[in-house]
Amino acid sequence: MTHALTQAVRGRFRPLSVRLTLWHSLLFLASALALLGFTYVLLSNRAYANERDAIEFRLKLYASEYQNGGLDAVHRLAAIRKGRAQQAFFVRVADSRNHTVFRRDAEDWAEFSPDRLNDQPLPGPDDRTWQTLRSPQGTELMLAAERLPDGGVLQVGKSTEDLSDVLSEYRRSALIVLLVFVPASFAGGAFLASRALRPVQHLTGAAQEIVATGRFDARVPAPGSGDELDALVVVFNEMLSRIDILVRGMRESIDNVAHDLRTPLTRLRARAQAALSADAVPALSHMDCPRCEPALEALAGCVEEAERVTTMLSTLMEIAETEAGLGTLERAPVYLADLIAETGDAYSEFAEEQAVHIHIAVPGSLHVSADSVALSRVFANLLDNAIKYTPAGGSVSITGLQVGDSIEICVSDTGIGIPPEDLPRIWDRLFRGDRSRSQRGLGLGLSFVRAILEAHDGTVSVVSELGLGTKVTVALPASRFSRDET
């Protein structure tokens, strides 16, 4: 039952540690992307601002030289450093009609088609304009222009090729950083989630141990961190202590009540049986007492009812203990074919009396790890019900097969069937349908069957149709052992 419960929990809920790890990693990734993006924007803006400052400085320098020495001074200054390879600036001087009169290193800037500048509008006398020329390769040429005192135009520019290379290198470095640190963030998130959830895992382990053993003396070790989880562990342990006290008191009360009920019932049955003994009955029969025969029948009824109540009480307590995990199962390798064959032999005489044929077809290879006595009682209950509610001339069949890691045993009959409205209640204790009240029984058989099967990590299901019969399917986990091991 513990294994089934664990599988059900895992199947329904995703581990919290996985979600915490994912959230930690996503938060780290979002923070890293935001930081790298913000840094990239600052770097790009600062770099472009530096480029603009450098262009403006060169523009002022060339404008000053032009004012002091004319176009010749511009030629001399431009000749100091030549070529884009030496990071020289683009320089163009145009007349008042925007016709080029000087262009530095024309062949180095041909990819930007600087002739297009001849068609651009002239800046105002006191204006400084900025524009960008883009080459077919995507490289940009940033240009600053201003009017000269004689009405001409001076333009100074610089290629952003080096700046683009720097920004591209930054992007590559940022990508490498992300590729390195994202897996590290998953590892760090998993470690932090494991540490943070360790008390919760201890709580889960203690709860599973309680479910498995039915004992409430398990305790969770307190981490001693003084945080909310530490407080939760303390409260959980205190709750377990109180539950343990209550369960112990309840067990003692049940034992006392059972003992107190069984004792008078046993005495009642013993006295009634003594009154019906071989010594007492002849003496009563020879007496001239017309009330003796009814008295004897009443005594026999007392014996029968006392036996019935004692059996009911024992079965109820056994079901309660099994469902609470208080019972002990002596698990051992069990071959179902042998077990069911023995059960069928035990009910063969009863089946003959009812004129019901029993057919058993269970492969000898089907085996489970189970308490053979408890499992035998399960199939005895199912077979008893099937025979009782099958009319004379009908049949009961028991078949078995293995489906994956599960073994299914089907008990089918051609009996009266179960009404649809009764199907959901057949597992309730002491429930007996209207059609079953004419038969002997306590209404505890199916409750006992389900409790025992759940204790074996198994399941039971019923399909029935009025007038056609009932099919009960028992599923148990298959075991891996050979007949030689048994």
pLDDT one-digit tens code per residue, 315-345: 666 656 665 555 666 788 888 889 989 988 8
For helices 161-213 and 228-275, give the axis angle rounded to 10 degrees: 20
More confident residue, 290 or 57: 57
Question: Based on C-alpha coordinates, what's the Rg of the chain?
Answer: 47
Which DSSP state fits 451?
A: H
Q: Are 154 and 59 in contact (CB under 8 A)?
A: yes
Among the residue ranges 40-54, 77-91, 372-386, the one predicted with the least confidence is 77-91
Q: Between the CA of residue 33 and those of 166, 185, 214, 349, what are the distances in Å?
A: 19, 13, 52, 81
Q: Are 318 and 327 in contact (CB under 8 A)?
A: yes
- Which two tokens mark 316? 């109820």
Q: Between the CA of residue 376 and those of 231, 349, 351, what are the distances in Å?
A: 48, 17, 17
| pLDDT value at 432 more than 70 | no
Instruction: Report residue 277 CA to chain centroid gap.
Output: 65
Question: Average pLDDT, stretch 308-321?
Answer: 64
**Percentage above 70 pLDDT, the chain:** 72
Q: Are 105 and 84 in contact (CB under 8 A)?
A: yes
DSSP 162-219: HHHHHHHHHHHHHHHHHHHHHHHHHHHHHHHHHHHHHHHHHHHHHHHHHHHH------
State the alpha helices, DSSP H only, in 354-469: 372-388, 445-455
State the alpha helices, DSSP H only, in 412-467: 445-455
Q: Are 313 and 258 in contact (CB under 8 A)?
A: yes
Query: For the segment 136-191, what is each residue's pLDDT rounded down to a tens digit?
Result: 888 888 999 999 888 889 999 988 888 888 888 988 988 888 888 788 888 877 88
Give 87's pLDDT tier (boundaries 50, 70, 90): low
Residue with tokens 């520019």: 157
The pLDDT value recorded for residue 280 is 53
How far is Cα 387 from Cα 357, in angstroms, rounded to an integer?
A: 9
The pLDDT value recorded for residue 317 is 65
Question: Average pLDDT, stretch 204-233?
Answer: 71
Sign of CA dihedral 283, 286, 292, 295: positive
The pLDDT value recorded for residue 357 is 92
Q: Are 476 and 458 in contact (CB under 8 A)?
A: yes
Q: Are 123 and 153 in contact (CB under 8 A)?
A: yes
Q: Are 94 and 117 in contact (CB under 8 A)?
A: yes
Pairing mode of beta strands 395-403, 357-361: parallel
Query: For the segment 378-410, what is each residue's pLDDT rounded down to a tens digit?
Result: 888 888 888 888 888 899 999 999 888 889 999
Return mean pLDDT, the chain: 78
Q: Are 474 and 411 in contact (CB under 8 A)?
A: yes
Residue 325 CB partners (closer than 8 Å, separation 6+): 1, 211, 212, 213, 214, 455
pTM: 0.45
Residue 378 CB partners (closer than 8 Å, separation 6+): 448, 449, 452, 453, 474
Other beta carbons less than 10 A from residue 425's beta carbon: 12
Query: For the segment 225-262, what is each residue's pLDDT rounded down to a tens digit?
Result: 676 777 877 887 888 788 878 777 766 676 666 666 66
